[in-house]
Structure 1
Amino acid sequence: MLRKPRKNFRRSGDPVAAPAPTPVAAPAPTPASAPTPAPASQPEPEPVPGPSGLQSSKNIVAAARKPVSDYAACSGNVTDIYEFQKLLVNGSFGTIYMAKHGWMKVAIKSGPRPASHSYLVVPDHPEPLYREVAMMVKLCRSPVCPYVIQMYEWFDGGDTLSMVMEYPHPCMSLKEFIDIENGLTANITRLILRQLVNAVLHCISRGVFHNDINLRNILVNIDLIPKIKLMDFSSARLVDKDGYDSRTYDGDFHFQPPEAMRDGKYYPVPTNVWFLGIILATMLTGHLPFRLVKDIFIRPLRRLGSITGNGYDETLILVQFKASSLRISVDPDSDDKITQTISRVHT
């Protein structure tokens, strides 16, 4: 029987930064011995339905039947389990393929083993773990967020790593969606921003700072009511209230917060609010508010949202960009509760 994507994760402690593990040769196989019966007081758990309705593979364990961490890689070869069908992305990190397992479609991200700074020491795992995998495990523990992409399982191929991810379809990036519409209506903007705020809140609550929220890392499901998925946690960091050295910022430079350029340091929550503001402005106008770094400092205030072309005469949203911070406020006469939602992100 083929293995199937898993969903349910057990909680464990937070990971800490660590160097990459040193590859070691696999031990020679030993003769099989009769398995020891499991104690009657600790029966093997039954499979639990995963996100696709398929059974979880969590309880498929080694012959010794030792309990495994939810960080553990799946055994076997990913190409033997999944049928690779279509190349979606081919970049410096590796590839993303659309693949199938039975009737279920997934996205499989594969690439060479990352550099040493991309690893963390995690509890219940015998060696340092790839940072993106560790972050995805933290985010995918129950309860999950419907606006954050899900990882079902991952495979360690020695020289390569593969992550089996949720495959939303039909969908496109938020950048493509905005370009097609030449800017979004106020109602669609509210809807997408609310979903994105919920995704950010979920990440922060799990101790994960995305670090690269931009228009290409947000998928939009093309439906009557758009639904987003925040994806690509390859630049993610553990939340650190003491901030991060600006030299470690590897996100889109159009979205880099001003304090990173001015102070040499940036912080997770204010940076998230900055990301949200840039995306909000772009959704309403159809273009980025700042083309050059200097624009962030010489154009500190922009008034947006006179949506006359879409049937709105009132100024709906005021976005105030400043060199040190960003504030977002909504028309107080509006019955929309987005102001309070964004306040939760900023505080």
Structure 2
Amino acid sequence: MTSIGLYSIGETIGKGSYGKVKLGTHKLTGKQVAIKEISKEHAPMVAREIHLHRQLKHPNIVMLYEVIITESSIHVISEYCPHGELFDALTERGYCYSERDAVRWFVQLVDALKYCHSQDIVHRDLKLENILLDDNDNAKLCDFGFARHAESRQMLQTFCGSLAYSAPEVILRQKYTGPETDIWSLGVILYTLLAGGLPFDDDSEVVTQRKIVKGDYDIPSHFSPEVSDLITRMLKLNPSERVTIDQIAGHPWI
């Protein structure tokens, strides 16, 4: 077992865009942490992620504790969430969650996203794989690799994120404001938790893109009228017609 600073480095628990994530233990307190090791050659790419993540302190966002830099690597020390990804929890379950079960996680995510947007930070890669569960099964937003600081109504144009969760304006390479694209992705997350599958999905990426830009999806019959209304409002093709994060927080389903 190797060490970095005051941390012992243990087994690999995940893989990020630029390196492996290891389980670490603080030598003095015994507290477990996640340690992401990144080669210094990727420093320019991760500098913004670290800068933005450091600014965010919220109970439903993974806490970044410290950054340790050596000759060859950057070590990002952050909160360890032992129950893993929400994606894995859904996959292992093998079927969808009830609205009663899903609403707790959804409210936590809405609260975290509302906080990000209040800090003028847009995530741009919201998906089940980027939501971790702590030892009390609370949802924690992570991975700010595609996040951007975007002041009110500032237009973005980078195509990024994961296709199945991407908003139509991103796929169409149109300029967009970040909050509305986050709202779309949040709608996909809620749908997937309740349906057990993605709203826009196909073996062909081209077909998936076509479905997204046409808004071609079906609301399962077991969805309540309230949650159907909320998802429909989040998955509006026109970004200006989507509900805002404040409207979501005040929606009757919640």
Aligned-residue Cα RMSD (Å) equals: 2.6
Q: Is residue 227 from structure 1 mapped to residue 155 from structure 2 by the alignment?
A: no
Larger gyration radius, structure 1 or structure 2 = 1
Name the structure where strand makes up a greater proportion of residues.
1
Tell me which residue corresponds to 2:197. Answer: 287
Tell me which residue corresponds to 2:165. Answer: 255
Q: Any residues of structure 2 matched to 1:85-164 within 5 Å, and which?
A: 85-101=10-26, 102=28, 103-115=30-42, 118=45, 130-139=47-56, 144-164=57-77
User: How many residues get paired?
Assistant: 234
Q: 1:322 aligns with which of 220, 236, 239?
A: 236
- CA change 1:235–1:340 in 2 (3 A) is closer
Tell me which residue corresponds to 1:46. Answer: none
- CA change 1:294–1:269 in 2 (3 A) is same
Q: Any residues of structure 2 matched to 1:144-293 within 5 Å, and which?
A: 144-169=57-82, 171-181=83-93, 182-221=95-134, 223=136, 226-240=137-151, 241-245=153-157, 248-291=158-201, 292-293=208-209
Q: Any residues of structure 2 matched to 1:297-316 within 5 Å, and which?
A: 297-300=213-216, 302-304=218-220, 306-307=222-223, 314-316=224-226
Residue 231 of structure 1: CA displacement? 0.6
Equivalent residue of 1:229, what SS? strand
Partner amino acid for 1:196? L
Looking at structure 2, the residues matched to 193 and 136 of structure 1 have their Cα atoms a distance apart, in angstroms, of: 21
Tell me which residue corresponds to 2:204. Answer: none
Q: Any residues of structure 2 matched to 1:59-98 within 5 Å, and which?
A: 79-98=4-23
Q: Note the alpha carbon deviations across 1:36-55, whole angstroms, 9 max, x for none.
A: xxxxxxxxxxxxxxxxxxxx
Q: Note the alpha carbon deviations across 1:279-338, whole angstroms, 9 max, x for none.
A: 01101100000011111233446434625xxxxxx5341222332236469xxxxxxxx9
Identical amino acids, percent of aligned pairs: 24
Looking at structure 2, the residues matched to 192 and 267 of structure 1 have their Cα atoms a distance apart, in angstroms, of: 25
Looking at structure 2, the residues matched to 302 and 278 of structure 1 have their Cα atoms a distance apart, in angstroms, of: 12
Q: Please tell me whether the aligned partners of residues 301 and 322 of structure 1 are also in contact (alpha carbons under 8 angstroms).
A: no
Partner amino acid for 2:210? K
- CA change 1:156–1:166 in 2 (3 A) is same
Residue 198 of structure 1: CA displacement? 0.6
- CA change 1:152–1:243 in 2 (3 A) is same
Name the structure where helix makes up a greater proportion of residues.
2
Partner amino acid for 1:213? L
Looking at structure 1, the residues matched to 135 and 92 of structure 2 have their Cα atoms a distance apart, in angstroms, of: 12
TM-score, length basis structure 2: 0.82
Q: Please tell me whether the aligned partners of residues 328 and 342 of structure 1 are also in contact (alpha carbons under 8 angstroms).
A: no
Partner amino acid for 1:243? M
Looking at structure 2, the residues matched to 276 and 114 of structure 1 have their Cα atoms a distance apart, in angstroms, of: 33
Q: Please tell me whether the aligned partners of residues 151 and 164 of structure 1 are also in contact (alpha carbons under 8 angstroms).
A: yes
Segments of 5+ residues of structure 2 without an aligned counterpart are: 202-207
